[in-house]
Amino acid sequence: MPAPNAPTPARPDPDTAPDAAFAAATLAAQSAALATLAAWLDGDGREAFTRAVDLIVACADSNASVIVSGLGKSGHVGAKIAATLASLGIPAHAVHPAEAAHGDLGRFRAHDAVICLSKSGETEEVVNLAGILRQDGLPIIAVTAAPPSASQAPSSLERLATVALRIPLEREAGEPAFVAPTSSTTATMALGDALALAAARRRRFTDDDFRRRHPGGALGGLLRPVVEILRFRAGENLPLVPEGLTVAQALSHTDHNARRPGALVVVDAAGRLTGIFTDGDLRRLVGRDPAALTRTIESVMTRTPRTLPASALVRDAVHMVREFRQDEIPVVDGAGQPVGILDVQDLITMRLVRD
């Protein structure tokens, strides 16, 4: 035992590589692991992966749940996989394998499917759980990892599984200096995402389905119909300016509104959108020639501006703002008639774009 107040032993010198270079190398190693996994899925692993998706889809279609179980880091990854499945319309939850033997076996039902995670395939608690569930006839998807060159016999978990997915993995990022699970957990999480997305795609899960499960936060906001967030609507608080008016007349046409958008919406005799005239356009026009207020609105407006259809989602508006820096976006119906106009401030208020 060191003497009291003894100096702390000096830490060994780190590797000569700078921290950022070392970190970049670990990320490159994990990226390589994912590339190897993708190639395996498109080759030797294709049949097993498809069978695993079949099991998940059959489970979801029978209104049962997918239960994910793993120990340690695999347990954390399993919780994320379960959350992803649930967000894509597939009932799912995580169960700790040790807790299963102390009452949580009651969470499993006859038509459920199970995903068991264990890098070695020999984690005692996970193997024991799989053995019990195998006796009950539940389908089991085993996710393990091993070097792709290994010709080793199936692990205990793989022998109990209905479908075995063995991730091809040469080494963990950070080896040999560190043995913490890195590439294996990254690849397992990615494989879980792939299973969830493939199953959701098979079940024709839509953006609208996703939105109903994510009513809050940025994701929910992006998937809302754009017409739901319009503050300025034609026929309510958005006057439509007919062609033929002067700029001054067009401005007075909207003066009775307590609030007005940052652009005038101009329509033809049939009520179809023909252009917009923004506050910025007005400042530039008057700055050049104060007498220009007597010109017709159609001679100074922006013709055929970029628009959004009434069926668009908020994410489409965000994309337009980011790509084209367009602050005022007319929303039109199928006949080209204005439904309203979206102001970039509406998206800023929702914290979907920055000022």
Rounded to two decimals, the pTM is 0.66
Just give the CATH number of 226-349: 3.10.580.10
C-alpha neighbours within 13 Å on the C-beta side of residue 221 = 14
Q: What is the pLDDT of residues 84-139, one digit of tens each?
A: 999 888 999 999 999 887 778 888 988 999 999 999 999 999 999 999 999 999 99
pLDDT for residue 177 is more than 80: yes
b/e sequence 284-320, b meaning 16+ C-beta within 10 Å: ebeeeeeebbeeebbebbbeebebbebebbbbbbbeb
Instruction: Give the model's confidence band at 47: pLDDT under 50 very low, under 70 low, under 90 confident, else very high.
Output: very high
* Distance of alpha carbon 265 from alpha carbon 343, whole angstroms: 12
* Distance of alpha carbon 236 from alpha carbon 346, whole angstroms: 17
* Distance of alpha carbon 297 from alpha carbon 242, whole angstroms: 9
pLDDT for residue 215 is more than 90: no
- 296: helix, coil or strand? strand
Mean pLDDT of 183-201: 96
Please report, as a single letter, which amino acid is at residue 354.
R
* Closest of 258, 235, 123 to residue 181, by C-alpha: 123
- 265: helix, coil or strand? strand
What is the residue extent of each domain of the chain?
22-205, 226-349
Tokens of 111: 């038509």
Pick the CATH number of 22-205 from 3.40.1190.20, 3.40.470.10, 3.40.50.10490, 3.90.420.10: 3.40.50.10490
For the chain, the straight-line distance linking the first and the last C-alpha, in angstroms and rounded, comes to 60
